[in-house]
Amino acid sequence: MLTTANGSFAAIFPHEISGYIFSLVSQKDRIQCMHVCKVWRQGAIYWCDQAWRTTQLRLFDIDSMIDWLDVSPIIHDLHIDSKLDPSFDAADIQEAVHGDTDIEDSMRDQQHIPAAQKIPTHLSKLLSIPFDQLESIRYDTNGVNAEILQCLIQLAGSKVRTLNIQAIYQFLSKKPLCVAWIIDQCPQLETLIDSESVCEFIVKDKTSLIPCRLENLDLERQRFDSKEIMFLLRKCPCLRRLRLSCWFTISMSPLIMLEKCPRLEILVWGHLRYGSPSFYRPEWWRHCQFMNALDDEQQLLLPSTPSTGLRQLVMDNVNDTDHYACINTIINRHHATLTRISVTLYMDVMRSRDRINTIPVNLERLDFHFHQGSQEEVELFVRPLVEHCHHLKSLSIRTDFRYADPNEIVLPRWFFVAMTSLHALQHLAIEVDNDVNDMVHFLEAAAVCSIPLASLYYHGNWMTLPCIDAISKINTLRSLALSTHEQTLDTFDMHILTGLQQLPLLESLAFKHHENGFFKSPEAFDCLYQFPCLKQLFISIQDGLFSVQGIRHLADRQPHLEKMVLLDLTGDCSEELESYGLEEALDYAREKIAIVQGGRVCPECDHHTRKYDM
């Protein structure tokens, strides 16, 4: 059936077409040829707004791709997604990666390993397809060894500029491809992303010293060997972006990397081991498409014009005093070019002498997050940057409220006074205890001084109606997230929603941790119905129920919402959860709204809630 349109296909569609191969989707879900042509020519979304674009083609098995052999020479971008049975939860695979033996045994019991071992045989059909113009390969695998990728690189690697390998879980014992070999096989390669977090192997052949043109190197492993990293840095003299992320401490100084890579503009250094899914993951409320300044994937892209020094420094989950000391040294050396500093501290690693001596006056983004910290860190690290970096556009300071820290950190008044001088501030996230009156002072000043605040995330147990009134006067807000910690005020009622209705541009609204049953009321959803520009809604509650009638009413809103996520974190994993009609209401909403997620889940069990992360 698919071969009948081969002759006309290449004549109709543009040359920048992307080929997508999904090898384990059933035949009944294959998109028929004429349907593809129809929606493509109209530039419309066919069924998945996350995947379709007008210049991309999705084919759901390799046999179909072979039927389109006259198309393959003009394919520039190839995405191979070899997942396991879709009924198997991807979160379970992640648990197995992180050492959950029960999950791993369950996977063996369900015979997913034999299924995974068959995938390379299926993918071997790729090698019969000519890819003369291939410039980009994305290789997403669960349980697939590297043999097919190796053959594909040998076959079509000569023109490949971008290679993205995402091996979530590797059932087979074979090691991943040698990074140096990949670089040598792809002489035009500019971006290499190799994320195989359960592997340790990076470089096998240390004899090849041929310099390459690689500008962007992104590696994720269980652990790194410093000698192998040094070899790669010598082999890649043109590096402009480097990201290293692993489960164990990296036994290298960031300063050495900067010395070996004089052209480096972006350095991302991360310890995956210390990241908790509930804290370290990207903020659950950051889903507005217009908020490109908060999108790490977008912000960490290399600009077309090279910089003259380090622009972005991202140090995730720092747990070593020496590494923390390096941060200040790097800031002092590169103060003239730094536009972003993002630091996450896993523990208190500051020493009394650690302070920033030279201010990066061009700083546009500052993120300071800590699992466990001290008031001194706020004073010595955050204060000089907030008070003297007047070009800041994005500011985020967050802590982990799960820990009962006897030395509780409080944001002093100087923090809010300093923010009134940030006339370019667009994005603000505060998740540290503070005096709500100080926050009201800043919000009132922001309205008067025309600070162009587009997104605000405010978390804590300090929410008051005067604070809501001050927020409602920030007419530039497009995204608002309000979250209260355990003890919320009893006055969370219709006055809050009616006040927020005054925001003329608000597109994304999020509430989290409200415990007084406010969203049991249909009137709450009726009020949300009347928000003029609302496109995305996120609500996460505890000790309360959603109004099923209200959900249905909101789903009928015109124009329809684009995304709705409703989480009821009331239940207990040890007990059978009853949905009280919530699931049926969400199913009804799915008929009207493009993306609907949520349900009633256990608030204590991360395994159950991870797939609903917002």
pLDDT digits (tens, 9 = 90+) for 127-181: 777 777 788 888 877 655 677 788 889 988 999 999 998 876 555 555 778 899 9
Nearest Cα to Cα of residue 401 among 483, 480, 337, 457: 483
Q: Is the pLDDT of residue 193 over 90?
A: yes
pLDDT per position as a tens digit, 326-352: 888 899 999 999 999 998 887 665 554
Which residues make Cβ contacts (< 8 Å) with residue 364, sequence separation at least 6? 339, 340, 391, 392, 393, 394, 424
CA–CA dist 364, 283 (Å, integer)? 19
Residue 94, pLDDT above cutoff 50: no
Helix (H) and strand (E) counts in the chain: 22, 22
Quick: pLDDT tens for 425-435. Answer: 999 999 888 88
Task: Give me the mean pLDDT over the 6-14 stretch.
Answer: 39
The model's pTM: 0.81
Q: For 208-230, how does the pLDDT look when each residue is reduced to its tens digit (9 = 90+)?
A: 778 899 999 999 888 888 899 99
pLDDT of 239? 95
Q: Rounded CA gap, 67 and 2, in Å?
A: 7
DSSP helix/strand/coil, 572: coil
Whether pLDDT at 17 is above 50 = no
Identify the band that residue 65 occupies on the pLDDT scale cut at 50, 70 and 90. Answer: low
With a cut of 70, say whether residue 596 has pLDDT above it.
yes
Residue 533, φ and ψ in degrees, nearest 5:
-120, 10
So what's the pLDDT on residue 219?
Answer: 92
Containing 108, the helix (H) or strand (E) segment is helix 101-109
Q: Residue 317 pLDDT more than 50?
A: yes
Question: Over the stretch 26-37, which tens digit does the pLDDT of each residue have?
Answer: 333 433 333 343
Long-range interactions of 175-178: CB distance < 8 A, separation 24+ = 175/146, 175/199, 175/201, 175/204, 176/146, 176/201, 177/146, 177/149, 177/150, 177/153, 178/202, 178/203, 178/204, 178/205
DSSP 379: I
- pLDDT tens digits, residue range 471-482? 999 999 999 988
Domain spans, the chain:
2-75, 240-515, 517-614
With tokens 């099923």, the residue in question is 548
Q: What angle do CA 523, 613, 292 make, to 5 degrees?
A: 90
- Range with the poorest average pLDDT among 165-179, 372-386, 511-525: 165-179
Whether 443 has a pLDDT exceeding 50, the answer reads yes
Residue 575, pLDDT score: 54
What DSSP string describes 423-488? TT--EEEEESEE-HHHHHHHHHHHHHHT----EEEEEES---HHHHHHHTT-TT-SEEEEEE-SS-
Show the tokens assigned to 246: 């692993």
Please check the confidence at residue 529 and state whether its pLDDT lies above 80. yes
Span 602-610, average pLDDT? 48
With cut-offs at 50, 70 and 90, classify the pLDDT of residue 281: very low
Four-residue CA torsion sign, 7, 8, 12, 18 = negative
The predicted structure's pLDDT at residue 462: 67
- What letter would DSSP give residue 216? E
| Range name among 93-102, 142-151, 288-297, 372-381 with the lowest pLDDT average | 93-102
CA dihedral over 227, 229, 230, 232, signed as positive or negative = positive
- What is the per-residue pLDDT for 445? 95
At residue 132, the pLDDT reads 79
Query: What is the per-residue pLDDT across 232-262, written as a single tens digit (0 to 9) for each?
Result: 999 999 999 999 988 877 778 889 999 999 9
CB 31 within 8 A of CB 58: yes
Lowest mean pLDDT among 11-25, 337-351, 385-399, 501-515: 11-25
For position 84, what pLDDT does the model report?
Answer: 47
Q: Is the CB of residue 540 less than 8 Å from the CB of residue 599?
A: no
Least confident of 34-38, 60-64, 184-188, 217-221: 34-38
Q: Given CATH 3.40.50, say whether it is the number of domain 240-515.
A: no
